[in-house]
């Protein structure tokens, strides 16, 4: 970018205002002059642009993500370079990231937490079917609109970082950017898998249900050792409204061994959706809050279910903490979304671009009767494929054909 065009990337994207900042990138609201639409532009930090191997992986991952089309994934429009500035262009959102909502109003009702987690699983599961691993699932990368629609963002950068070995302290710092949500295998430096994303989704669900994280530590190394060695607490220890069987599901999701968890986000999503639908709930009829995601477990599309109202009396504050007001930049939208991250420090600014922080929303909570719910344990139903049925039929025919032979042998022996 030239000094005369400090807010214009490649003569096409005019940066309007900074929206957020993280360890890997700074996010701006921008205008696409070619198409006349508002977009979000994520600009990589200079410390990441000196490694040709990382930049190659970053561009490849961005192209992979651009091929994903799912209502619960932020769409990537473009990836480019203007001088030494490397950027990614995404759809713009007017909404809130999940971390701020958790800080403002957690613990969530059981139904709202399940609804959001199911939609996260739908988006991440779709990426898993396309052969992609997110590698950095956390509430800051989950965008929620005012009607509780959900989109997952920040595919690409984390995976590109994971694929390239750390070469300096800055890279190491970035890799350890989200130690509260890393899986045990990631904490040990192993490459992430879909089961790693499942673990991270479990941490996010735990935080929505309790308003706190399962593991805490004074530094990144202590947090890493907690993920590797410590047994996670049950959510019901901090929120007695969490049913026992939901505790069991989360304990499986937070298993130290990847093979002991659900294999993909799709599988976890089906479990949570079945659990939510089979829960015996007594409450007034309430309007639908956002569309439910469907999973490829059956040929038919799973219809949405109306979530429950959030009862004020059901809220259980986390120990030693009080609800904090939400004040942040807006980022999500009804059909389109913008990427955002929680800044670890005062976010840097681009020359000539004002930094704007708009107050976030706090979704109104209608008065509602106390919810009396009883949930049952849910396991995935067995599924018989065509090969199994054919083999069973052949075995049945073989048995039937052997019966006359047995009769003839018996008669010959008796005669």
Asked if residue 205 lies in contact with residue 251, where contact means CB atoms within 8 angstroms, the answer is no
Could you tell me if 125 and 264 are in contact, meaning their C-beta atoms sit under 8 angstroms apart?
yes
CA dist., res. 199 & res. 192, Å (int): 11
CB-based contact 60:47 (threshold 8 Å) = no
Distance CA 390, CA 35 (A): 55
Mean pLDDT of 262-269: 97
Least confident of 31-45, 113-127, 279-293, 378-392: 279-293
The predicted pLDDT at position 161 comes to: 55
Q: How confident is the model at residue 31 (pLDDT cuts 50, 70, 90)?
A: very high
Residue 366: the pLDDT is 40
- Report how far residue 277's alpha carbon sits from residue 10's, in angstroms, rounded to the nearest whole number: 50
pLDDT reported for residue 108: 97
Written as one string, the DSSP assignment of 357-402 is -PPPP-------PPPEEE-----PPP---HHHHHHHHHHHHHHHHH
Could you tell me the pLDDT band of residue 397, with boundaries at 50, 70 and 90?
confident
pLDDT of 314 reads 38
- pLDDT band at residue 353 using 50, 70 and 90 as cut-offs: low
Catalytic center residues: 136
pLDDT value at residue 53: 82
Phi, psi of 224 (to 5 degrees): -60, -45
Residue pair 268/262 in contact (Cβ under 8 Å)? The answer is: yes
- Please report which confidence band the pLDDT of residue 145 belongs to, taking 50, 70 and 90 as the band edges: confident
**Mean pLDDT, to the nearest integer, of 255-281?**
91
The alpha helices in 130-232, defined as continuous H runs, are 157-163, 169-175, 184-187, 194-210, 220-229
Least confident of 176-185, 203-212, 307-316: 307-316
pLDDT of residue 296: 62
| Rounded Cα–Cα distance for residues 246 and 110 (Å) | 9
Q: How confident is the model at residue 259 (pLDDT cuts 50, 70, 90)?
A: very high
Cβ atoms of residues 295 and 268 within 8 Å: no
Task: Give the per-residue pLDDT at 4.
Answer: 39
What percent of the chain is modeled with pLDDT above 90?
A: 44
pLDDT at residue number 357: 42
Helix (H, G, I), strand (E, B), or coil: what is residue 124? Answer: helix
Place of tokens 């005012």: 146
pLDDT exceeds 60 at position 144 = yes
In 3D space, the residue among 152, 148, 151 whose CA is nearest the CA of residue 290 turns out to be 148
Instruction: Indicate the range of 98-107, 131-140, 347-356, 405-414 predicted with least confidence.
Output: 347-356
pLDDT of residue 279: 72
Backbone angles phi, psi at 391, to 5 degrees: -65, -40
CA distance 200 to 190: 15
The rounded distance, in Å, linking the Cα atoms of 77 and 100 is 26
Work out the angle at residue 137's Cα, subtended by the Cα atoms of residues 265 and 166, and round it to the nearest 5 degrees: 120
What confidence score (pLDDT) does residue 185 get? 94
What SS3 class is residue 31?
Answer: strand
| CA pair distance 152, 140, nearest whole angstrom | 9
96 bridge partner residues: 144
pLDDT value at 385 more than 60: yes
Q: Which tokens is 201 given?
A: 């989704």
Task: Give which of 72, 175, 197 is closest to 131, Cα–Cα.
Answer: 197
């Amino acid at each position: 970018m030239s000094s005369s065009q400090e807010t214009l990337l490649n003569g096409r994207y005019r940066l309007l205002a900074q929206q957020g900042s993280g360890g890997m990138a700074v996010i701006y609201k921008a205008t696409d002059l070619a198409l006349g639409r508002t977009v979000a532009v994520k600009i990589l930090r200079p410390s990441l642009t000196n490694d040709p191997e990382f930049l190659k992986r970053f561009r490849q991952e961005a192209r992979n993500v651009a091929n994903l089309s799912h209502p619960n994934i932020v769409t990537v429009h473009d990836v480019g370079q203007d001088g030494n500035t490397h950027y990614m262009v995404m759809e713009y959102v007017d909404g809130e990231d999940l971390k701020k909502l958790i800080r403002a109003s957690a613990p969530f009702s059981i139904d709202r937490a399940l609804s959001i987690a199911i939609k996260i699983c739908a988006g991440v599961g779709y990426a898993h079917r396309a052969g992609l691993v997110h590698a950095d699932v956390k509430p800051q990368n989950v965008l929620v609109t005012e009607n509780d629609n959900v989109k997952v963002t920040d595919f690409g950068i984390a995976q590109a970082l994971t694929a390239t070995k750390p070469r300096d302290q800055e890279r190491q710092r970035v890799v350890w950017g989200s130690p509260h949500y890393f899986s045990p295998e990631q904490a040990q430096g192993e490459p992430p898998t879909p089961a790693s994303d499942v673990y991270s989704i479990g941490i996010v669900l735990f935080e929505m249900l309790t308003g706190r994280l399962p593991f805490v530590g004074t530094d990144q190394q202590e947090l890493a050792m907690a993920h590797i060695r410590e047994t996670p607490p049950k959510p019901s220890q901090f929120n007695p409204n969490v049913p026992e069987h939901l505790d069991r599901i989360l304990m499986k999701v937070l298993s130290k061994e990847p093979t002991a968890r659900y294999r993909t986000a799709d599988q976890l999503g089906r479990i949570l959706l079945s659990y939510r639908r089979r829960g015996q709930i007594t409450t007034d009829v309430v309007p639908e809050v956002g569309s439910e995601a469907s999973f490829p477990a059956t040929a038919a599309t799973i219809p949405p279910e109306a979530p429950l109202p959030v009862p004020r009396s059901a809220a259980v504050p986390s120990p030693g903490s009080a609800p904090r007001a939400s004040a942040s930049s807006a980022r999500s939208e009804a059909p389109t979304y913008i990427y955002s991250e929680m800044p670890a420090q005062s976010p840097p600014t681009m020359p000539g671009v004002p930094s704007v922080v708009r107050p976030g929303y706090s979704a109104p909570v209608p008065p509602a009767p106390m919810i009396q719910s009883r949930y049952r344990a849910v396991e995935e139903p067995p599924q018989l494929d065509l090969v199994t049925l054919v083999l069973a039929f052949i075995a049945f025919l073989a048995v039937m054909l052997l019966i006359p032979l047995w009769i003839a042998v018996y008669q010959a022996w008796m005669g």
